[in-house]
Structure 1
Amino acid sequence: MAKVLLYSVTQDPAFPGREPVDPADPHDGKFMQGAQMLFEQSAAVDPFGAHTLVNDPDEADLIVFAELGAEGLFSEWVRHHPWVRKYREKTFIFDVGDFTLPFLPGLYASLRKGYHSSGRTRTGYYLRLDENPHVEFRPHPSEYKHLACFVGSLINHPVRAQLKRIASERLIVEDTSDFAQRMLYMSPEEKERDFWPRYADTMAASAFALCPRGRGPGSIRLFEAMRMGRCPVIISDEWVYPHRVDWSSCSITVSEADVPKLAEILERNLHRAKELGLAARSEWEKYYSPAVRFHWLVEDCLAIRQERQLPEAIAGLLTWRHLINKFNLRWYAMSKKQIYKAHRRLVL
């Protein structure tokens, strides 16, 4: 049994990103604390009962920073938190960012193969306070309206742009690039009236849900498809598959180079769509549903610690070598610029 302290840097009174709460904010200004809040809710109904929450960092076996973006593109605010410096060997992060380098051990939704190490990282998933309420399990229709669907921005990666070229009446591709940014800041009420129901209805009417990579190799659609009971079609050569899920039984993988053959591949597997979709839902219930999230988060962090080969004080330093990549260096510099512009502080 592990004693776990769940935290978010946005909860710290000294965090410079704290802002006054908008009276119209349905989440009381706590959107960035959403991952921490959702894991705490999960711990309260955890069916396993193997791990408990504590508030004292000295007492905790694990300290997990559950973050949804306020930590900086490269976990700057977490890395400089006094608990990380004092309790480095028992500190972990849950990070949903697209570009984050694994400066800290933990779970990363968009974990790249080049950054994976069993003694430091696991692939996580995506959490939001404003999850689409219409993305819930629906029985498979006797006849699918669409072979497959993708509703999302096509400008985030070239593999998405390829989808537009193969779109058809059977393979639905809807580009939301024009209002993608605005959609991020829509209230749940606005999304409820328009985007959310249409998004879910389109997926429910499809045999397969296309899950291409975006700016990062991960895709939130993959987990939404599993939740709805539709087979996810994973198109991401760089993504590290979470290790517990039996992906061969509940998904189809298509290499990025084979996107032009996508319709042909899915037609060949159409007879398996229901079987794969129901298996996807089963795997989601076992590992990603609200009640079990906390348990498996802790289990992953414990597994990382058990497989650790180097002290974290050393292993963390080795991550800096990835900044030799000009792409990473550019995003790292951009992150410094964003933080300085917003808070007039330089955080390295």
Structure 2
Amino acid sequence: MKLRFLKPSSTPLASTDTSLIESLRAELLQRPGVVEEDDPVLADALVIHEPWAFREWRYIDKLIADPVVGRFSHKVYSVNGDDAAAGLLRGIYSCLPRSRFDPTLHAATPFLAQPNEQVLAHAGSPRGPAAFLGTWRGNPKSNRRVRGRLVDLYAASTRLKIESTESWLNHGADEKLRYVELLRAGQFSLCPGGWAAASMRIFESMALGVAPVILADEFVEPAGPDWQTFSLRVRERDLGSLETILQAHSDRHEEMGARAYEAWKQHFHPDLLIGYYAYALLGCIRANAGSGSPDEDIERWRSRRMYKANGWTAPQRLSIKIKRLLRV
């Protein structure tokens, strides 16, 4: 397989932080049969790390106009960490919602970032009896529909420990430790989506040996583990029945927590993540080998289905604008 790795010198659509693409390049070139090819015509796939952004419909014009991506879009594969990603390019995504996820074009990946060092410091360490049925600590502003309702419903509960915080990616050492201590104090870890359906809390819970409760209908599980053995999925509309649902599984929370940790250690440990990304990307490339064309990509990007899934239709944009004005 011949791969070309796109950098800012190749296209302005590539991230200026080349550390990830370089790590992935080094990993992929160790795989049997994988070689580097500078000529995009001869390459089987072009790999790009898109910088983090909230992308709207205008980004389609940038894709089409780019001399590399526009010409070879059918064999461009993105490594994408956008919150609630659009899913325009083929490739691997950490936050692509289920409604935009196409298993023939995309693969789900865990997060690469490890922002709370206390999680790894406590990973695999034994914990005492759980004081609560379930716990959650976070900022509800990123998803008032689910997180805000979780706070409204259970802030006064004695069985669920719910803590709301105003912090946002600026947690101090005390807050990071409090987060870990609270998570480990529950039989289950409550994992509502934020800006994206995917939540880092899911993987942090696994690392700490606590069964995650996924409260995000749009979350796509990365392949590998048997998710049903160690996690619970509770529909967002069933949030009002959360205590009853968790209580029905309470007697096996320790077994589920142990399975969660083993799954994390086997698939999502930081030492394994670049290898995981490489494997997922190669699988995506092989599944699409020889298929598609730039014209077909443009048709898919411009389709009503793509616009509707991303909230880009004119009525959807108007509705969003009205809601924002009403909140002011």
Aligned residue number for residue 152 of structure 1: 138
- 1:222 equivalent in structure 2: 202
CA 1:248 to 1:329, structure 2 compared with 1: closer, same or farther past 3 Å? same
2:19 to 34, 37, 47: 37
Q: Tell me how far 1:256 sits from its aligned partner.
A: 1.0
Q: Pick closer, same or farther for the CA change 1:332–1:69 going to 2, 3 Å.
A: farther
Work out whether residues 227 and 284 of structure 1, in 8 Å CA contact, stay in contact via their aligned partners in 2. yes
- Following superposition, the deviation at residue 143 of structure 1 comes to 0.8
Displacement of 1:98 in angstroms is 2.6
Q: Secondary structure at the match of 1:107?
A: strand
1:311 matched to 2:292:
yes
Helix, strand or coil for the counterpart of 2:77?
Answer: strand
> In 2, are the aligned partners of 1:43 and 1:291 still within 8 Å (CA)?
no
Contact 2:20 2:49 in 1 (8 A): no
Q: For residue 198 of structure 2, give the secondary structure of its aligned residue in structure 1.
A: coil
1:54 Cα deviation (Å)?
Answer: 4.6
Residue of structure 2 equivalent to 1:125: 110
CA distance in 2, matches of 1:229, 1:312: 45
Question: 1:24 aligns to what?
Answer: none
- Residue 3 of structure 1 deviates from its aligned partner by 5.5
Is the 1:75–1:100 Cα contact (8 Å) retained in structure 2?
Answer: no
C-alpha displacement at 1:76, in angstroms?
3.6
In 1, the alpha carbon distance for the partners of 2:270 and 2:279 equals 15
1:34-82, Cα deviation, whole Å (9 max, x unpaired):
xx53565577689x85586858464764433234515846794983554
Give yes or no for the alignment of 1:135 onto 2:97. Answer: no
User: Offset at 1:280?
Assistant: 1.6
Match of 2:261 in 1: 281
Unaligned stretches of 5+ residues in structure 2: 319-328
Partner of 1:265, secondary structure, is helix
Conserved in 2, the CA contact under 8 Å of 1:43 and 1:294?
no
Instruction: Pick closer, same or farther for the CA change 1:276–1:69 going to 2, 3 Å.
Output: same
Q: CA separation in 2, counterparts of 1:57 and 1:292?
A: 30
Identity of aligned pairs, percent? 24
- Which residue of structure 2 aligns with residue 106 of structure 1? 91
Tell me the residue number matched to 2:101: 116
Contact 1:226 1:232 in 2 (8 A): yes
Deviations 1:240-299 (A, max 9, x none): 232332111121111112211212222222222222122222222333223332333233
Distance (Å, rounded) in 1 between the aligned partners of 2:4 and 2:180: 35
1:84 corresponds to which residue? 69
Query: What TM-score, normalized to structure 1?
Result: 0.73
CA distance in 2, matches of 1:106, 1:49: 18
Task: State whether structure 2 residue 150 is matched by structure 1 residue 163.
Answer: yes
Describe the shift of the 1:69–1:265 C-alpha distance in structure 2 as closer, same or farther (beyond 3 A): same
Q: Distance in 2 between matches of 1:6 and 1:170?
A: 51
Q: Which amino acid aligns with 1:163?
A: L
One-letter identity of the residue aligned with 1:132: N
| Aligned partner of 1:210 among 190, 193, 197 | 190
Equivalent pair of 1:74/1:99 in contact (CA under 8 Å): no
Cα deviation, residue 206, structure 1: 2.1
Contact 2:53–2:82 under 8 Å retained in 1 = no
Cα distance between partner residues in 2 of 1:87 and 1:14: 12
- Asked if 1 retains the 8 angstrom alpha-carbon contact of 2:193 and 2:199, the reply is yes
2:153 corresponds to 1:173 = no
2:324 aligned partner = none
Cα offset, 1:127, TM superposition: 2.6
**Aligned residue number for residue 323 of structure 1:** 307
Query: Is 1:96 aligned to residue 85 of structure 2?
Result: no
Residue segments in structure 1 that go unaligned for 5+ positions in a row: 18-29, 335-348
**DSSP-derived class of the 2:251 partner:** helix
Cα distance in 1 for partners of 2:19, 2:142 equals 29
RMSD between aligned residues:
3.6
Question: What's the TM-score once normalised by structure 2's chain length?
Answer: 0.77
Shift of 1:124: 2.3
